[in-house]
Structure 1
Amino acid sequence: MTESDIELVIAVIRPDKLSEAKQALAEVGAPSLTVSDVSGRGSQPAMTEQWRGEEYTVDLHQKVKIEIVVADIDAEDVAEALSDAAHTGEPGDGKIFIVPVSEAYQIRTGETGVDAV
C-alpha cells in the first residue's frame, strides 16, 4: 500500500443513528472514529416553532459528523455500513463523502503514511 491508499470517510447523520452507526463500523472492522456535534441544512425542510410566544424558523438541524480514516479497510465498505445504519428514508438522513488523504502522521510514534493509520 502507498499513502494514496489512505482515505477519509466523512458522514453527517441524524444524532439518534449514532449508536447504530458505531455498531455497523465495528462490524466492518473500522471501530476508530471521531464524532462531532454539528448543525446544517440540506433537503430536510425548515420547521416553524414557537418560544415564549414568538414564532421562529429552525433551518439548521442538529447532526453528528463521523470521520473515519482507513487504509487497510475498503472505504466503500465503510460508507455502505454507515449508509445502511443511518437510513430512515426521510429527508435529513445525511450524506457520506470519501476523500483521499495525501499523508498521515502518528504523533506518538513518528510513523507516517499507512503505518500511522
Structure 2
Amino acid sequence: MKMLSIIVRPEMVSSVTVALHGIGVTGMTVTDVRGQGIQKGTRTFYRGVEYKTDFVQKSKIETVISDSLYEKAIEAVIESARTGQIGDGKIFVTEVLDAIRIRTGERGDPSLHS
C-alpha cells in the first residue's frame, strides 16, 4: 500500500478527486494548506498598495491506495492537475505498512474498500 500526499492548486481539487474516483480510489482527506516552493510567495495589489504573501494557498489530498492502483493514480493526478505553470504542485509517496478498519478489524487492502 502507498499513501499519496498530493499538493495542488485549490481550484484543481475537484478535478483531481473526480479523476481518482474514476480509477476506483474511494477514500481521501482534503485539507487547505499554505506552502512555499519555487514561487516563494506571491505579490498582490490592494487599493494601489503592493502586498507580499510568503506562503501560497494550496490544497492537500491524502489517500492510501493498493499497490495495484499506484501507477494509474499517479497518471490520473498528473493529467487532472497539470496546467504547465509554476505552482501545479507535487505528489509525495510513502509506503504504508498496514491499514486497519476500526469498525471491523479488517487489515491491509480489504480495509481500504467500502
Normalised by the length of structure 1, the TM-score is 0.84
User: Is the 1:13–1:86 Cα contact (8 Å) retained in structure 2?
Assistant: yes
* Structure 1: 5+ residue stretches without partners: 1-5
Matched, 1:43 2:38: yes
Distance in 2, matches of 1:112 and 1:92, equals: 36
Q: State the 1:53 CA deviation.
A: 7.3
- Equivalence for 2:72: 77
User: Is the 2:42–2:56 Cα contact (8 Å) retained in structure 1?
Assistant: no
Q: State the 1:31 CA deviation.
A: 3.0
* Structure 2: 5+ residue stretches without partners: none
Alignment counterpart, residue 14 of structure 2, candidates 15, 19, 23: 19
Distance in 1, matches of 2:16 and 2:5, equals: 12
Q: RMSD between aligned alpha carbons?
A: 1.9
Q: How many residues align?
A: 112
- Equivalence for 1:94: 89
Matched, 1:108 2:97: no
- What is the identity percentage for the equivalent residue pairs of Structure 1 and Structure 2? 40
| Stretches (4+) displaced over 6 A | none
1:30-79: CA deviations, max 9, x gaps? Answer: 13211111110111243233557764311211111011111264212101
Normalised by the length of structure 2, the TM-score is 0.86
Distance in 2, matches of 1:72 and 1:7, equals: 6
Q: State the 1:110 CA deviation.
A: 1.4
Distance in 1, matches of 2:44 and 2:67, equals: 46
